[in-house]
C-alpha cells in the first residue's frame, strides 16, 4: 500500500499548476508570433524594416542575418526537446531586443512616446517571462 501512496505523491509533485502552464504557453506563443513574423519581415525586407535599419545606421544585409536568427530562435523555443538550444534562443532574443532598444536610444529614434524603446524592451521582458515560466520538461 505504501508503494501506491508514494507513486501518487511523486506524480503530484512533478506536475505544475495549470495556470502557470497556460500563462507560459500564452506568453511563449505571443513571443514566437512577434519574433517569427518580425524575422520573416526582415528576411523579405517588408515595409518599415529598411527604414528602421537605415535610421539606426546598420547595413541592409543586417536584416537578413537578424531575420534568419529570429526565425530559427522562434522554432527553437516552440519545438520540444533541444534544451540547451532553447537556452541559447532565449538569450539571443533577450540580447537582440535589448540591443535594438539601445540602438534606437543611441541614435535618438524614440518614436512616438518612445515606442521603439518600450516595444523592444517589452519583448525582452516577454522572453524573460517565457524562460522563467517554462515547464520542467523544457529546462536543463
Residue 48 is predicted with a pLDDT of 86
CA dihedral 97, 100, 104, 107 (to 10 degrees): 150
Q: Are 39 and 70 contacting, i.e. CB atoms less than 8 angstroms apart? A: yes
- pLDDT per position as a tens digit, 83-96: 999 999 999 999 99
Residue 37 is predicted with a pLDDT of 97
Residue 2 is predicted with a pLDDT of 53
Cα–Cα dist 77/54, whole Å: 29
SS3 71: helix
Cα–Cα dist 66/68, whole Å: 6
Residue 111 is predicted with a pLDDT of 83
Evaluate if residue 68 carries a pLDDT over 70.
yes
Residue 4 is predicted with a pLDDT of 53
Mean local confidence (pLDDT), 58-70: 96
Evaluate if residue 71 carries a pLDDT over 90.
yes
Going by pLDDT thresholds of 50, 70 and 90, the confidence category of residue 47 is confident
Evaluate if residue 1 carries a pLDDT over 70.
no
**Joined grid coordinates for residue 80:** 520540444
**Taking the model in full, what pTM does it have?**
0.84
Going by pLDDT thresholds of 50, 70 and 90, the confidence category of residue 110 is confident
Cα–Cα dist 32/36, whole Å: 6
Mean local confidence (pLDDT), 51-66: 94
Evaluate if residue 34 carries a pLDDT over 70.
yes
What does the buried/exposed string (b/e) look like for 95-110 if buried means 16 or more CB atoms within 10 Å of the residue's CB? ebbbebbebbbeeebe
Amino acid at each position: 500500500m505504501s508503494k501506491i501512496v508514494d507513486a501518487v505523491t511523486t506524480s503530484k509533485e512533478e506536475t505544475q499548476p495549470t495556470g502557470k502552464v497556460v500563462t507560459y504557453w500564452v506568453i511563449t506563443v505571443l513571443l514566437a508570433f512577434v519574433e517569427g513574423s518580425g524575422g520573416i519581415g526582415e528576411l523579405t525586407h517588408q515595409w518599415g524594416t529598411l527604414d528602421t535599419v537605415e535610421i539606426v545606421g546598420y547595413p541592409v544585409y543586417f536584416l537578413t542575418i537578424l531575420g534568419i536568427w529570429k526565425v530559427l530562435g522562434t522554432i527553437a523555443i516552440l519545438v520540444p526537446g533541444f534544451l540547451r538550444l532553447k537556452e541559447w534562443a532565449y538569450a539571443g532574443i533577450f540580447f537582440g531586443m535589448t540591443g535594438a532598444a539601445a540602438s534606437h536610444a543611441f541614435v535618438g529614434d524614440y518614436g512616438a512616446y518612445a515606442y521603439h524603446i518600450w516595444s523592444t524592451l517589452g519583448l525582452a521582458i516577454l522572453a524573460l517571462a517565457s524562460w522563467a515560466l517554462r515547464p520542467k520538461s523544457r529546462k536543463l
